[in-house]
Homo-oligomer: A and B are copies of this chain.
Amino acid sequence: AQRHKTATQGPCNTSKPSMLDFVNKAKWDAWKSLGSVSQEEARQQYVDLISSLVGTEAPAVAAQPTGSTKGFQTLLVSTEDNITTIRLNRPEKKNAITVEMYNELIEALDLAGKDDSVITVITGSGDYYCSGNDLNNFTKIPEGGVEKLAKESGELLRRYVKVYIDFPKPLIGVINGPAVGVSVTLLGLFDVVYATEKATFHTPFSQLGQSPEGCSSYLFPKIMGAAKASEMLLFNKKLTAAQACEVGLVTEVFPESSFQSEVWTRLKAYAKLPRNSLALSKQLIRVVEKEKLHAVNDAEVERLVERWLSDECMQAIMSFFQAKSKL
Contacts from A to B (Cβ < 8 Å)? 170, 187-193, 205-212, 217-219, 221-231, 233-236, 247-252, 266, 270, 273-278, 280-282, 284-285, 287-289, 292, 295-296, 299-300, 303, 306-307, 310, 312-313, 315-316
Whole-angstrom distance from the CB of A116 to the nearest CB of chain B?
11
Whole-angstrom distance from the CB of A240 to the nearest CB of chain B?
14
Return 25 A-B CB contacts under 8 Å, by A number.
Answer: A170-B230, A190-B226, A192-B227, A192-B231, A192-B235, A208-B277, A210-B277, A211-B277, A211-B281, A217-B285, A221-B285, A221-B289, A223-B226, A224-B248, A225-B248, A227-B248, A230-B251, A231-B252, A234-B282, A274-B313, A274-B315, A276-B310, A277-B312, A280-B306, A284-B303
Docked Cα-Cα span, A316 to B272, in Å, equals 11
Whole-angstrom distance from the CB of A53 to the nearest CB of chain B?
19
How many monomers of this protein are in the complex?
3
B273 and A235 contact, CB distance less than 8 A: yes
A170 and B234 contact, CB distance less than 8 A: yes
Whole-angstrom distance from the CB of A281 to the nearest CB of chain B?
4
Contacts of A251 in B (CB 8 A): 227-228, 230-231
Contacts of A218 in B (CB 8 A): 285, 288
Contacts of A274 in B (CB 8 A): 206-207, 209, 312-313, 315-316
Docked Cα-Cα span, A313 to B299, in Å, equals 40
B281 and A234 contact, CB distance less than 8 A: yes
CB nearest to A173 among chain B residues: B227
Q: Which of B212, B221, B231, B280 contacts A281 (CB 8 A)?
A: B212
Whole-angstrom distance from the CB of A244 to the nearest CB of chain B?
9
Contacts of A281 in B (CB 8 A): 205-206, 211-212, 217, 233-234
B217 and A284 contact, CB distance less than 8 A: yes
Docked Cα-Cα span, A218 to B288, in Å, equals 7
Q: Which of B207, B277, B295, B303 contacts A316 (CB 8 A)?
A: B277
CB nearest to A216 among chain B residues: B285
Docked Cα-Cα span, A7 to B143, in Å, equals 56
A277 and B231 contact, CB distance less than 8 A: no
